[in-house]
Amino acid sequence: MENIRVIELPKMKMVSSAELEIGDDIFTKFDKWLSRYDEVRVPKLFSYDFMYYNSASGKFTWLYAVYDDIKECPYDIVDFEGGIYAVATSIDEDEESGNDTYVMINDWVSKSEKFDLDSSRHTLFHVISSDKIYEKMKFRQLDVFVPIK
């Protein structure tokens, strides 16, 4: 099975940044909001955020999973449909690593007799390295979630 994990994400509420470009004003403001909200989240096993790329607009959307009722939120709260994903890890901010990982997952799915690609949903990205791990490794790990059915 190579280095592919098959996981299921549940249906849930997510806060959506709206479309953004990495480093723009929307990105910066959403990052500050998410960081403040995430600091007080208990228990915190990992960060609850995901990002996807919209090839039609050429922009990203940043999502943050919420399980409680948010009283004040400057962003849209959306229904995330969840689903099954084939997942593998690449190096964050390394386009070659990300592309190689995406191709590897797609190749695995195409050879699979159990799964097919699900083009009705976006491929998601999720940074899995903490700051402490980043300090040691000098790069962050990025999980690539390719939707399958």
pLDDT digits (tens, 9 = 90+) for 83-126: 999 999 999 999 999 999 999 999 999 999 999 999 999 999 99
- CB proximity list for 37: less than 8 A, separation 6 or greater: 64, 66
b/e map 69-96, b = 16+ CB within 10 Å: eeeeeebeeeebeebbbbbbbbbbeeee
- State the pLDDT at residue 79: 94
Could you tell me the residue ranges of all domains in the chain?
A: 5-148
Tell me: pLDDT of 1 over 60.
Answer: no
* Rg of the chain over all Cα atoms, to the nearest angstrom: 16
- State the pLDDT at residue 144: 98
- State the pLDDT at residue 69: 73
pLDDT tens for each residue of 55-85? 899 999 999 998 767 777 899 999 999 999 9
Q: Which CATH superfamily is domain 5-148 in?
A: Regulatory factor, effector binding domain (3.20.80.10)
- Percent of the chain past pLDDT 70, that is, above it, reads 97
- State the pLDDT at residue 80: 96
DSSP H or E stretch at residue 20: strand 12-20
Cis amide prior to 43 (ω within 30 degrees) = yes
pTM for the full model?
0.91
